[in-house]
Amino acid sequence: MARRDTGTDDPRVRVRPGRGSRPRTKQRPSHADAVLGMVTRIDRGHYRIRLDDPGLTESSSGDITAMKARELGRGKVVVGDRVAVVGDTSGRSGTLARMVRIEERTTLLRRSAEDGDAAGTERAIVANARQLVIVTAVADPEPRPRMIDRYLVAAYDAGMEPLIVLTKTDLADAAPLTGLYSPLGVRCLATRLHPGASDDEAGPTETAGAPEQADDGIEAVRKALTGTVSVLVGHSGVGKSTLINAIVPGADRATGHVNEVTGRGRHTSTSLQALALPGGGWVIDTPGVRSFGVSHVGSADVLRGFPDLAAVAEDCPRGCTHEDGVVDCALDEWVNDPAAPNGRRARVESFRRLLAPSLEAEDPTRP
């Protein structure tokens, strides 16, 4: 940091005492009086934090606002981080507490930048979430399986459990997508919310797109989210905020229409926000993104997401990339075993599809 101008040449005048002369208080290093909470939102350097013990605040929610203490340095704090705060933790409007410590993270969702100056650098997005909910509309906007694949890779890398939620099944059939992901063993849930239903006197009607689904699917999603910490991710306009509004009373997240010409959402949600679930647990709404880079995830990390295939791959030649067509890959032998049960081929094909972006990042010269 640049030395501050003290407005005088007199060397005895200092704005702040230097390290050597700063009085040492016992409290500074240990912060015995610090209280713990979770970061629920970040807004231009102000961190919204829900304290574990709401009784410590004067607000009924237990929410306070804090800033990073200088001693935290450049360490990045993300939504979901568990932090220790000191100072004014009353939560009264206009007060700012000081965040002095980030607790060790159990998981960390990251993405890598794909273009521009930052290409290849990775960014932390959410800490301590256990479930990555990949929200995809079956139509409007059109689903892009490549994106789902990348999210799955990010989930395996972060140590998070993936869950696919297929929305807008009132508009099209979910079966082609559920079929694509069943070999991976990823759980898929389908929802159909009728955003205009309250204005519609006839009420919800059965459509030809999803005759097999009797309800709107929201109960199953609620069950999957309750009691754990989940992050909802996906393109803009797939219905992430609509889902959260259906599950968290009073969430009141803004939702936006999908552009009829471009088929794209309007990027309605602009910041991450963690919301407490009525039955316990947290759900984190995120802004829709156009792409999700996973070049920071190595192919070995992807393989770790497939314990059954990792065991087979132990018999591969050293340095095997496990791609389709490489010589002596043990996965091929495993698939071609005449006694093999059904489904092995589809699983290996799915694994190889997920491997592609990592292999590309590891060797950009490959054909």
List contacts with Zn ion (CB under 5 A).
Answer: 316, 320, 322, 329
Using a 10 angstrom Cβ sphere, with 0-12 exposed, 13-18 middle and 19 or more buried, the burial of residue 273 is buried
Chosen residue from 168, 296, 322, 352 binding ligand GTP by CB under 6 A? 168
238, 284, 294, 302: which one contacts ligand GTP (CB under 6 A)? Answer: 238
Task: Check binding of 68 to ligand GTP (CB under 6 A).
Answer: no
- Tokens at 233, concatenated: 């991710």
With CB under 5 to 8 Å by kind, the binding choice for 354 among Zn ion, Mg ion, ligand GTP, none is: none
Q: Is 170 in the site for ligand GTP (CB under 6 A)?
A: yes
HEC per residue, the chain: CCCCCCCCCCCCCCCCCCHHHCCCCCHHHHCCCCEEEEEEEEECCEEEEEECCHHHCCCCCCEEEEEECHHHCCCCCCECCEEEEEECCCCCCCCCEEEEEECCCCCEEEEECCCCCCCCCEEEEEECCCEEEEEEECCCCCCCHHHHHHHHHHHHHHCCEEEEEEECCCCCCCHHHHHHHHHHCCEEEECCCCCCHHHCCCCCCCCCCCCCCCCCCHHHHHHHHCCCEEEEECCCCCCHHHHHHHHCCCCCCCCCCCCCCCCCCCCCCCCCEEEECCCCCEEEECCCCCCCECCCCCHHHHHHCCHHHHHHHHHCCCCCCCCCCCCCCHHHHHHHCCCCCCCHHHHHHHHHHHHHHHHHHHCCCCC
Nearer to Zn ion, 215 or 328 (CB): 328
Member of 167, 273, 299, 350 binding ligand GTP (CB under 6 A): 167
Least distance (Å) between residue 104 CB and Mg ion: 30
Q: Residue 268 interacts with ligand GTP (CB under 6 A)?
A: yes
* Least CB distance to Zn ion at residue 327 (A): 10
Q: Is residue 269 within the footprint of Mg ion (CB under 5 A)?
A: yes
Tokens representing residue 120 in the block: 């290849």
Q: Closer CB to ligand GTP, residue 171 or residue 326?
A: 171
| Residue 260: CB minimum distance to Mg ion, A | 18
Minimal distance in Å, beta carbon 364 to ligand GTP? 31
Task: Check residue 159 for interaction with ligand GTP (CB under 6 A).
Answer: no
Q: Which of 123, 187, 222, 267 binds ligand GTP (CB under 6 A)?
A: 267
Which partner, ligand GTP, Zn ion, Mg ion, none, binds residue 191 by CB below 5 to 8 Å per kind? Answer: ligand GTP
236 lies in the site for ligand GTP, by CB under 6 A: yes
Residues 315-344 that bind ligand GTP (CB under 6 A): none
> What x/- string results for residues 185 through 224 when contact with ligand GTP is judged by CB under 6 A?
------xxx-x-----------------------------
Q: Could you tell me how many residues make up the chain?
A: 367
Per CB under 5 A, the segment of 51-59, 206-214, 261-269, 317-325 that binds Mg ion is 261-269
* Selection from 138, 120, 235 nearest residue 188 by Cα: 138
| Interface with ligand GTP, residue 105, by CB under 6 A | no
User: Exposed/middle/buried for 358, CB within 10 Å: 0-12, 13-18, 19+?
Assistant: buried
Q: How many residues bind Mg ion (CB under 5 A)?
A: 4
Contact 35, 55 (CB under 8 A): no
Q: How far is the CB of 285 from Mg ion (least distance, A)?
A: 6
Quote the least distance from Cβ 287 to ligand GTP, whole Å: 5
* Closer residue to ligand GTP in complex, CB, 35/272: 272
Q: Based on CB atoms, which residue is closest to Zn ion, 206 or 333?
A: 333
Question: Under the rule (CB under 6 A), what is the footprint of ligand GTP?
Answer: 167-168, 170-171, 191-193, 195, 234, 236-242, 255-258, 265-269, 287-288
